[in-house]
Amino acid sequence: MKQEELIFVPGPGIGHLASGLELAKRLLDHDDRLSITILVMNMPFTPSINSYTRSLTASQPRIKLVDLPEVDPPPSELLTKSPEAYICDFIESYIPHVKTTVTDIISSLSNSDVRVAGFILDFFCVSMIDIANEFSLPPYIFITSNAGFLGLMLNLPKRHDEISEVMQMSDPDSLIPGFFNPVPARVLPDAVFNKHGGYAAYVKVAQRFKDGKGIIVNTFAELEPFVLRSFSDDHRIPPVYPVGPVLHLKGQPHPEINQDQLDKIMKWLDEQPQSSVVFLCFGNFGSFSPLQVKEIALGIEQSGFKFLWSMRFPRSPSNQFMNPEDVLPEGFLERIEGRGIMCGWAPQVEVLAHKAIGGFVSHCGWNSILESLWYGVPIVTLPIYAEQQLNAFRMVKELGLSVELKLDYRVGGDLVTADEIAKSVICVMQSDSEVRKKVKEMSEKGRKAVMDGGSSFTSITQLIQDITGNN
What confidence tens digit (pLDDT) does each residue in 152-177 have? 999 999 999 999 899 999 999 999 98
Arithmetic mean of pLDDT, 275-285: 91
Q: Which pLDDT score is estimated for 326?
A: 77
pLDDT value, residue 253? 54
Q: What is the pLDDT of residue 321?
A: 45
User: Which pLDDT belongs to residue 99?
Assistant: 97
**Average pLDDT for the chain:** 91
pLDDT at position 450: 97
* pLDDT value of position 254: 57
Confidence (pLDDT) at 320: 44
Q: Using CA atoms, how far apart are residues 360 and 281, in angstroms rounded to an integer?
A: 8
Q: What is the pLDDT of residue 27?
A: 96
Q: Decide: 355 and 274 in contact? Cβ < 8 Å.
A: yes
Query: Does the structure show a pLDDT above 60 at 315?
Result: no
In 3D space, the residue among 418, 420, 54 whose CA is nearest the CA of residue 407 turns out to be 420
Do the domains spanning 3-244+450-468 and 259-446 agree at the CATH topology level?
yes
**pLDDT value of position 317:** 44
Average pLDDT over residues 379-385: 96
> Is 63 a residue whose pLDDT tops 90?
yes
187 close to 152: Cβ distance less than 8 angstroms: no
Does residue 252 register a pLDDT over 90?
no
Q: Is the pLDDT of residue 47 over 80?
A: no
Which pLDDT tens digit goes with each residue over 124-151? 999 999 999 999 999 999 999 999 999 9
Burial tier of 408 (Cβ tally within 10 Å: 0-12, 13-18, 19+): middle
Stretch 322-342: mean pLDDT: 87
pLDDT above 80 for 50: no
Q: Is the pLDDT of residue 258 over 80?
A: no
**Nearest Cα to 358, choosing from 328, 420, 403?**
403
- DSSP, res 385: S
Q: At 470, is the pLDDT very low, low, confident or very high (cuts 50, 70, 90)?
A: low
Q: How far is CA 33 from the centre of its chain?
A: 29
CA dihedral for 170, 173, 175, 177, sign (positive or negative): positive
What class has domain 259-446? Answer: alpha beta
Looking at residue 14, its pLDDT comes to: 80
Domain boundaries, the chain: 3-244+450-468, 259-446
Confidence of residue 325 (pLDDT cuts 50, 70, 90): confident
Average pLDDT rounded to a whole number, residues 13-19: 84
Question: 3-244+450-468, what's its fold?
Answer: Rossmann fold (3.40.50)
Rounded to the nearest 5 degrees, what angle is found at the Cα of 31, between the Cα atoms of 29 and 34? 100
Per-residue pLDDT band at 280 (split at 50, 70, 90)? very high
Is the pLDDT confidence value at 46 over 70? no
Q: Pick 457 or 314 by higher pLDDT.
A: 457
Q: What is the mean pLDDT of residues 315-320?
A: 44
> Would you place residue 319 in the very low, low, confident or very high pLDDT band (cuts 50, 70, 90)?
very low
Per-residue pLDDT band for 194 (boundaries 50, 70, 90) equals very high
- As beta bridge partners, residue 166 has none
**How far is the C-alpha of 239 from the C-alpha of 3, rounded, in Å?**
24
Residue 53: predicted pLDDT: 67
Q: What is the pLDDT of residue 251?
A: 58
